[in-house]
């Protein structure tokens, strides 16, 4: 049995099921990170002016984070290129850009790893103060999202790309949806970077 | 366009060759998943009820050994069969958690929503059948985690179903398992909610416009939005509390917290109030997750058995949507005594008064729907009619709690317990029973027994009130809900503690009253009266499918021509006109 509008768009909404599904999922993600940003605000307001001191003591590495921001923005670019390649029917180029996206995610995580270990080396743990606690909680959850997006994209660039020969449109749609998720994860970082490193 | 090929499609072509595992355990059919959800929900409702029956013994006869089963709990819970206060707390916390997250939600949303909604939409299945399966198995994992936590060395979570910090941050019991279980349950609800909304938007049959949608579907859609948007903040809060417990962070721990006479060695700087805000931001919409599907079921049953269109269908729908929206703006009325400030209290008591308006509209419209109908008093209708006054009592007793000044003396008393149990127990549970009796023929192809059904309803109705009405009296007398001995050692509890015996006996009789239901349920699967496609002469689309419906649901094309409740249409040769014309019978 076939579910209607899995691939073709619904005549009234103009969207297929997956597109609606991913947007709804992203809405729930906004609430998830929204709650964490609200927590950040409550903790910062409740710190009685000690927040700046805690932030300074944490010595977050702004140049590394700037590099990471560039890496993630670059990965959004390769993500769009991967999708555009599929739209043009270029499988090899799609796979190239797909793996490039996964690779950028990998570079991001490696840099994040060096940042984390530098903190641990200075005895800066989540338990040290509330700034570090929310820093590790939010960037950690974001990193989990990056890993999820990488797995998703790696699947389509790898074994999932076989779908190209059976149903190109379907693969293109699914890559578009995973791209929406990837851009969202990117966007979260665009908020995290100034909130923790610059403000 | 080529046919999409995927794992779940490969077996469709060999329908008869589906293995037992694919057909009944790892099924992608929304009806099988709906039944899985329902059975899981019913089993947990029974389990949660059993926990409560133990607590009721301690409340009625504090310090006396629990009869029959007292020796099973071991010396660290009930030495000599006498319940320790810690064990009481564990039972209380897990009763609330299990009833809400593993009992009512899986049955009302996962069970009824999954089984009925695609049928009422005229859809072949949910939009994402495999995600649907995944969502059930996340629920299952969550249930297993919660159940298994009873066997941890220090027992299951015992910090109330609200898990207030800082107690829950530092308690030595199974709170971490509770949090992990909740994360599974939340994931399950999120996947389900995405699926429900997408299905309702995309897969309605041709001609089924939004204003022709049965009220039950509207209720499920609004519920799905609540689950989608209200649950993630609790997921965030759960992760933070887990970090407080495991990574020694201080999200919810203030500076200089003294535990057992010593200052706790934590960095501090966190806010216990933050947990309450994040928790109630979920948990107030959650209240509507519990009640909206129930209203949907009652609306279907009342329209069908009064043989009349629902009165004020559009007002009902608009009220429902408004209710869903407002439910995000009332959460802090649970927190009037936290000292959050009178400005906040003013805001939240205003929104709380506003949200009562659509609830009253819905209840009134359902009552007015009965006026002038030729009512059939069958079992589903009895339960639906029972719902109306019970939810009325539950709703009206909630008004004083929504006003800060009245809430302050009533907060944390048995009055609160009485209030929300009237909403959820004789309210929602009666509606769910109505739904079970009503849709049972569609699931199994057979009706449940009417005599046993009435034998289930009348005692349940009497004993439900026997349990919950005295709670309102006790609460108005100021009996706190947190007393492990029902108040006998507290002077202020006064002369109303004697009611505990009556309430406990009612609770045990209520358990006996469920025996006819259990017998009826299992007997009717094989021996019930055979039902055709449409045993209740109903109008909505699910009754056009065969009973039981095959994988893919409909054996004929569905083109909707009418609204959902065309009963007793003048000039028609029978007293109901289905939404779509039946081609095959």
**pLDDT per residue as tens digits for the range B428-482:** 999 999 999 999 999 999 999 999 999 999 999 999 999 999 999 999 999 999 9
**Which pLDDT band holds residue B16 (cuts at 50, 70, 90)?**
low
Mutation to test the B interface, candidates A49, A55, A133, most B Cβ within 10 Å:
A133
pLDDT tens-digit map of B477-490: 999 999 998 888 88
Token reading at B153: 């060395």
Token reading at A143: 């990193």
- Contact residues, chain B, for A130 at CB < 8 Å: 249-251, 267, 269-270
Segments forming the whole domain that contains residue B352 = 37-253+267-544
Nearest to A27 among B2, B198, B228 (CB): B228
pLDDT tens-digit map of A113-137: 999 999 999 999 999 999 999 999 9
Task: Say which residue, B2 or A190, is predicted with more confidence.
Answer: A190
Q: Which residues contact B509 (CB under 8 A, 6 or more apart)?
A: B459, B463, B466
Give the nearest chain A residue to B248 (CA atoms). A127
Task: Report yes or no on B225 lying in a domain.
Answer: yes
Give the nearest chain A residue to B126 (CA atoms). A3
- Contact residues, chain B, for A4 at CB < 8 Å: 123-124, 202-203
Report CB contact under 8 Å: B249, A4.
Answer: no
Could you give the C-alpha distances from B175 to B54, B146, B241, B244, B297, in angstroms and in order? Answer: 21, 10, 9, 11, 35
Closest chain B C-alpha to A180 CA, distance in angstroms: 16
Task: Report yes or no on B428 lying in a domain.
Answer: yes
Torsions phi, psi of B528, nearest 5? -65, 165
Torsions phi, psi of A193, nearest 5? -60, -55
Task: Report yes or no on B4 lying in a domain.
Answer: no
Report CB contact under 8 Å: B228, A126.
Answer: no
Report CB contact under 8 Å: B281, A5.
Answer: no
Report CB contact under 8 Å: A4, B203.
Answer: yes
Strand partners, B446: B530
**Which pLDDT band holds residue B585 (cuts at 50, 70, 90)?**
low
- pLDDT of B10: 42
What value of ipTM does the predicted structure carry? Answer: 0.96
- In the predicted structure, residue A1 carries a pLDDT above the cut 90: no
Nearest to A28 among B125, B229, B267 (CB): B229
- pLDDT of A199: 86
Measured distance CA(B377)–CA(B300) in Å, rounded: 15
Q: DSSP 3-state helix, strand, coil percentages of chain A (rounded to 5)?
A: 80, 0, 20
Distance of CA B319 to the CA centre of its chain: 20
- In the predicted structure, residue B214 carries a pLDDT above the cut 90: yes
- In the predicted structure, residue B22 carries a pLDDT above the cut 90: no
Structural domain count of chain B: 1
Phi/psi region, residue B567 (left: phi>0; alpha: psi -120 to 50; beta: rest), is beta
What is the separation, in whole angstroms, between the first and last Cα of chain A?
54
Q: Which residues contact A15 (CB under 8 A, 6 or more apart)?
A: A9, B202
For residue B430, give the nearest of B385, B494, B469 by alpha carbon.
B385
Token reading at B366: 């359902």
Cis peptide, bond prior to residue B166, ω within 30 of zero:
yes
Sign of CA dihedral A8, A11, A17, A20: positive
Torsions phi, psi of A191, nearest 5? -80, -40
Torsions phi, psi of B548, nearest 5? -75, 150
pLDDT tens-digit map of B232-242: 999 999 999 99
- Give yes or no for a contact between A126 and A137, defined as CB atoms under 8 angstroms apart: yes
The CATH number covering residue B421 comes to 1.20.210.10
- pLDDT of B492: 77
- Contact residues, chain A, for B271 at CB < 8 Å: 42-43, 46
Q: DSSP 3-state helix, strand, coil percentages of chain B (rounded to 5)?
A: 70, 0, 30
Give the nearest chain B residue to A169 (CA atoms). B1
Report CB contact under 8 Å: B3, A2.
Answer: yes
Torsions phi, psi of B312, nearest 5? 70, 50
Measured distance CA(B271)–CA(B269) in Å, rounded: 7
**CA R_g for chain A:** 19
- pLDDT of B91: 97
Closest chain A C-alpha to B222 CA, distance in angstroms: 13
Average pLDDT estimate for A16-30: 97
- Does residue B446 sit in helix, strand or coil? strand
Report CB contact under 8 Å: A24, B193.
Answer: yes
Query: With pLDDT > 90 as the criterion, what percentage of chain B qualifies?
Result: 90
Measured distance CA(B585)–CA(B236) in Å, rounded: 51
Give the nearest chain A residue to B235 (CA atoms). A32
| DSSP code at position B259 | E
Q: Count of alpha carbons within 13 Å of B457, Cβ hemisphere only?
A: 24
Mean pLDDT of chain B: 94
Torsions phi, psi of B530, nearest 5? -65, 135
- In the predicted structure, residue B18 carries a pLDDT above the cut 90: no
- In the predicted structure, residue B3 carries a pLDDT above the cut 60: no
Task: Report yes or no on B576 lying in a domain.
Answer: no
Report CB contact under 8 Å: A130, B202.
Answer: no
pLDDT tens-digit map of B160-183: 999 999 999 999 989 999 999 999
Average pLDDT estimate for B398-411: 94
Report CB contact under 8 Å: B274, A43.
Answer: yes
Residues belonging to chain B: 585
Closest chain B C-alpha to A188 CA, distance in angstroms: 15
- In the predicted structure, residue B9 carries a pLDDT above the cut 50: no
- Give yes or no for a contact between B564 and B213, defined as CB atoms under 8 angstroms apart: yes
Give the nearest chain A residue to B9 (CA atoms). A1
Measured distance CA(B579)–CA(B560) in Å, rounded: 5
Measured distance CA(B70)–CA(B56) in Å, rounded: 13
- pLDDT of B11: 42
- Give yes or no for a contact between B37 and B111, defined as CB atoms under 8 angstroms apart: yes
- Contact residues, chain B, for A1 at CB < 8 Å: 12, 124-125, 551-552
Burial environment of residue B80 by CB neighbours within 10 A (0 to 12, 13 to 18, 19 or more): exposed
- In the predicted structure, residue A89 carries a pLDDT above the cut 60: yes
Report CB contact under 8 Å: A2, B4.
Answer: yes
- In the predicted structure, residue B17 carries a pLDDT above the cut 80: no
Report CB contact under 8 Å: B228, A28.
Answer: yes
Nearest to A170 among B4, B281, B552 (CB): B4
- Give yes or no for a contact between B362 and B296, defined as CB atoms under 8 angstroms apart: no
Residues belonging to chain A: 199
What is the separation, in whole angstroms, between the first and last Cα of chain B?
34
How many other C-beta atoms lie within 10 A of the C-beta of residue B51?
20
Nearest to B229 among A13, A31, A133 (CB): A31
Token reading at A17: 């099921």
The H or E element that residue B263 is part of is: strand B262-263
Angle, helices B272-306/B342-370, rounded to nearest 10 degrees:
10
Report CB contact under 8 Å: B250, A27.
Answer: no
pLDDT tens-digit map of B264-293: 999 989 999 999 999 999 999 999 999 999
Assign domain A17-198 to a CATH class: mainly alpha
Token reading at B563: 């609204």
Token reading at B170: 């530092």
- pLDDT of B8: 43
| Confidence (pTM) | 0.95
Torsions phi, psi of A35, nearest 5? -65, -40
- Give yes or no for a contact between A177 and A22, defined as CB atoms under 8 angstroms apart: yes
DSSP state string for B356-386: HHHHHHHHHHHHHHHTT------HHHHHHHH
Task: Report yes or no on B323 lying in a domain.
Answer: yes
- Contact residues, chain B, for A46 at CB < 8 Å: 269-271
**Which pLDDT band holds residue B7 (cuts at 50, 70, 90)?**
very low
- pLDDT of B12: 44
Chains A & B: contacts with CB separation below 8 Å: 151
- Give yes or no for a contact between B543 and B566, defined as CB atoms under 8 angstroms apart: no
Closest chain B C-alpha to A1 CA, distance in angstroms: 6
- Contact residues, chain A, for B123 at CB < 8 Å: 4
How many other C-beta atoms lie within 10 A of the C-beta of residue B557?
10
Could you give the C-alpha distances from B137 to B27, B28, B134, in angstroms and in order? Answer: 11, 12, 5
- Give yes or no for a contact between B258 and B216, defined as CB atoms under 8 angstroms apart: no
Report CB contact under 8 Å: B235, A127.
Answer: no
- Give yes or no for a contact between B2 and A167, defined as CB atoms under 8 angstroms apart: yes
Report CB contact under 8 Å: B243, A133.
Answer: yes
How many other C-beta atoms lie within 10 A of the C-beta of residue A53?
12
- Give yes or no for a contact between A81 and A153, defined as CB atoms under 8 angstroms apart: no
Nearest to A32 among B202, B236, B247 (CB): B236
Closest chain A C-alpha to B240 CA, distance in angstroms: 7
Report CB contact under 8 Å: B274, A31.
Answer: no
Burial environment of residue A54 by CB neighbours within 10 A (0 to 12, 13 to 18, 19 or more): buried
- Contact residues, chain A, for B240 at CB < 8 Å: 39, 137
Closest chain A C-alpha to B90 CA, distance in angstroms: 28
């Amino acid at each position: 049995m076939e579910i209607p509008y899995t691939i073709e768009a619904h005549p009234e909404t103009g969207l297929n099921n997956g597109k609606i599904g991913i947007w709804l999922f992203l809405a729930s993600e906004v609430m998830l990170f929204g709650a964490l940003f609200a927590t950040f605000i409550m903790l910062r307001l409740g710190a009685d002016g000690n927040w700046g001191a805690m932030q300074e003591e944490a010595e977050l590495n702004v140049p590394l984070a700037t590099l990471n921001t560039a890496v993630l923005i670059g990965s959004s670019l390769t993500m769009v290129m991967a999708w555009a390649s599929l739209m043009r029917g270029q499988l090899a180029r799609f796979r190239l850009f797909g793996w490039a996206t996964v690779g950028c995610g990998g570079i991001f995580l490696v840099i994040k790893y060096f940042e984390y270990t530098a903190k641990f080396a200075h005895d800066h743990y989540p338990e040290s103060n509330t700034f570090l606690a929310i820093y590790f909680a939010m960037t950690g959850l974001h990193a989990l999202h990056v890993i999820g997006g990488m797995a998703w994209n790696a699947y389509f660039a790898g074994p999932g790309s076989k779908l190209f020969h059976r149903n190109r449109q379907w693969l293109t749609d699914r890559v578009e949806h995973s791209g929406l998720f990837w851009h969202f994860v990117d966007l979260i970082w665009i908020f995290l970077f100034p909130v923790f490193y610059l403000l | 366009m080529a046919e999409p090929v995927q794992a779940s499609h490969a077996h469709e072509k060999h329908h008869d060759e589906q293995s037992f595992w694919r057909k009944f355990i790892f099924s992608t059919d929304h009806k099988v998943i709906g039944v899985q959800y329902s059975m899981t929900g019913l089993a947990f409702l029974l389990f949660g009820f059993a926990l409560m029956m133990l607590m009721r013994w301690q409340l009625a006869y504090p310090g006396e050994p629990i009869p029959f089963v007292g020796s099973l709990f071991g010396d660290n819970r009930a030495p000599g069969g006498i319940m320790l206060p810690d064990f009481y707390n564990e039972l209380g916390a897990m009763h609330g958690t299990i009833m809400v997250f593993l009992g009512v939600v899986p049955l009302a949303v996962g069970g009824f929503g999954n089984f009925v909604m695609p049928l009422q939409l005229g859809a072949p299945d949910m939009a994402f059948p495999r995600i649907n399966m995944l969502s059930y198995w996340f629920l299952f994992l969550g249930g297993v985690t919660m159940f298994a936590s009873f066997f941890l060395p220090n027992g299951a979570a015992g910090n109330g179903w609200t898990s207030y910090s800082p107690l829950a941050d530092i308690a030595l019991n199974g709170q971490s398992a509770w949090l992990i279980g909740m994360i599974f349950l939340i994931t399950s609800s999120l996947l389900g909610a995405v699926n429900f909304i997408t299905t309702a938007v995309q897969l309605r049959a041709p001609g089924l416009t939004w204003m022709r949608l049965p009220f039950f579907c509207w209720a499920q859609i609004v519920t799905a939005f609540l689950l989608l948007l209200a649950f993630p903040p609790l997921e965030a809060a759960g992760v933070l509390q887990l970090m407080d417990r495991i990574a020694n962070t201080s999200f919810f721990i203030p500076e200089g917290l003294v535990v057992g006479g010593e200052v706790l060695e934590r960095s501090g700087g966190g806010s216990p109030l933050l947990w309450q805000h994040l928790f109630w931001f979920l948990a107030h919409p959650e209240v509507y997750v519990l009640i909206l599907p129930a209203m949907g079921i009652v609306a279907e049953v009342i329209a069908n058995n009064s043989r009349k269109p629902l009165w004020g269908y559009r007002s009902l729908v608009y009220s429902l949507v408004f209710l869903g929206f407002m439910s995000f703006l009332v959460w802090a009325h649970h927190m009037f005594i936290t000292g959050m400030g009178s400005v906040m209290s003013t805001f939240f008591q205003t929104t709380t008064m506003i949200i009562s308006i659509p609830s009253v509209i819905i209840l009134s419209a359902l009552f007015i729907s009965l006026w002038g109908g030729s009512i059939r008093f069958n079992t589903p209708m009895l339960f639906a009619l029972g719902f109306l006054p019970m939810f009325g009592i539950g709703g009206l007793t909630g008004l004083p709690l929504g006003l800060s000044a009245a809430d302050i003396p009533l907060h944390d008393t048995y009055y609160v317990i009485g209030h929300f149990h009237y909403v959820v127990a004789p309210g929602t549970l009666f509606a769910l029973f109505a739904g079970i009796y009503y849709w049972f023929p569609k699931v199994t192809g057979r009706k449940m027994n009417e005599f046993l059904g009435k034998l289930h309803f009348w005692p349940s109705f009497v004993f439900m009130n026997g349990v919950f009405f005295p709670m309102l009296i006790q609460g108005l007398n100021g009996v706190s809900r947190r007393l492990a001995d029902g108040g006998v050692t507290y002077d202020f509890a006064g002369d109303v503690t004697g009611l505990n015996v009556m309430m406990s006996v009612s609770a045990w009789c209520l358990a006996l009253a469920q025996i006819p239901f259990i017998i009826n349920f299992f007997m009717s699967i094989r021996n019930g009266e055979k039902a055709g496609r449409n045993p209740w002469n109903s109008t909505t689309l699910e009754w056009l499918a065969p009973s039981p419906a095959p994988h893919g649901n409909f054996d004929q094309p569905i083109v909707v021509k009418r609204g959902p409740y065309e009963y007793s249409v003048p000039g028609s040769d029978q007293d109901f006109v289905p939404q779509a014309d039946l081609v095959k019978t």
